[in-house]
C-alpha cells in the first residue's frame, strides 16, 4: 500500500539480508526511493535491480563499510543520484559470541568497525545533506543486548550500547535543524544473525519472552516506519524496544 505524501529518499545500510532486506522491501513497496549497501548482493537485490518499475528509485552498491572513504563516496553518489537524502537507517551489523577473555581481537575490531564506527560515519555524511535541507531523520538499529547485556556478548553489547549513546547525543546536536534521531532495540529475531543459536538457546529465549516466540523482521518494520513518519514529528532521542516483552 502506497504511503501518503511525496516519496522519500532513504539510505539503508546492510540491506541485502535479514532485517535490512525487510526494510528495503517495505519502503520500496510504499513508494519511497531506497539506496542500500552491503558487502555482497542477494537474489532479492538482483531481482529489484532488474525490476523496471524500480529503475528510478532503487540503488544498490557493494560497499566495504570498514572503509571510511568508501562510505563517503557511496553517500555522495546517493545524493548525486536522487538529489537529496531524507532518512538514514543504520542497520548494518555483525555479531560474534564468546567469552571476552578468549575472543580474537580481530572479531572485537570488526564489531566496533561495522556496528559502531560505520554507523557514526554514515550519520556524519548523511547529516551533512540533511543540514543543508534543514530536515531529516536517522534511525539507529541497536539491540536489547545493548540495554541489558548478555553473557558471551560483551563486545557486541558495547557496540550496541554505543549506538544508544550516539542516538541521544545526536538528537540534541541535530534537533535545532529539524533532524530527528531515534533508535530501535529489537530482541532476538528469527533472522540470519540469530542462526548460530542452538535449539536449546532458542527454547530458552522463547520461554523467557512473554509473547512466546522469537521476533520477525516484520515486527520491527512498523516501528521504523512510525519513527520516520509525521506522527513522530516531536519524538527524538528515544529508543523503541521491540522484544515481545522479554525486558519488561
Catalytic residues: 156
Which residue's entry shows cell 577473555? 101
Quote the cell numbers at residue 100. 571476552
CA distance linking residue 131 with residue 248, whole number of Å: 37
For residue 138, how far is the Cα from the chain centroid?
A: 9
Sheet holding 87-90, edge to edge: 58-62, 33-38, 9-13, 87-90, 136-141, 179-186, 239-242
Quote the cell numbers at residue 210. 512473554
| Number of other CB atoms surrounding residue 50 within 10 Å | 9
Amino acid at each position: 500500500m502506497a504511503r501518503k505524501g511525496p516519496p522519500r529518499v532513504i539510505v539503508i545500510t546492510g540491506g541485502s539480508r535479514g532485517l535490512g532486506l525487510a526494510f528495503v522491501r517495505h519502503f520500496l513497496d510504499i513508494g519511497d526511493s531506497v539506496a542500500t549497501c552491503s558487502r555482497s548482493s542477494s537474489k532479492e537485490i538482483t531481482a529489484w535491480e532488474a525490476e523496471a518499475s524500480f529503475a528510478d528509485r532503487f540503488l544498490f552498491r557493494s560497499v566495504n563499510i570498514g572503509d571510511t572513504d568508501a562510505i563517503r563516496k557511496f553517500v555522495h553518489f546517493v545524493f548525486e543520484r536522487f538529489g537529496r537524502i531524507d532518512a538514514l537507517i543504520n542497520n548494518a551489523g555483525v555479531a560474534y559470541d564468546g567469552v571476552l577473555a578468549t575472543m580474537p581481537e580481530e572479531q572485537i575490531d570488526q564489531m566496533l568497525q561495522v556496528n559502531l564506527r560505520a554507523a557514526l560515519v554514515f550519520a556524519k555524511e548523511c547529516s551533512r545533506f540533511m543540514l543543508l535541507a534543514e530536515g531529516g531523520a536517522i534511525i539507529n538499529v541497536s539491540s536489547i543486548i545493548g540495554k541489558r547485556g548478555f553473557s558471551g556478548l560483551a563486545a557486541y553489547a558495547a557496540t550496541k550500547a554505543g549506538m544508544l549513546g550516539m542516538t541521544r547525543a545526536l538528537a540534541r546536536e541535530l534537533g535545532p535543524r529539524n533532524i530527528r534521531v531515534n533508535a530501535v532495540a529489537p530482541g532476538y529475531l528469527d533472522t540470519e544473525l540469530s542462526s548460530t543459536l542452538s535449539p536449546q538457546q532458542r527454547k530458552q529465549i522463547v520461554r523467557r519472552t512473554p509473547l512466546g516466540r522469537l521476533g520477525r523482521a516484520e515486527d520491527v518494520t512498523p516501528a521504523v516506519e512510525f519513527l520516520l513518519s509525521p506522527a513522530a514529528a516531536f519524538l527524538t532521542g528515544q529508543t523503541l524496544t521491540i522484544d515481545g516483552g522479554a525486558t519488561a
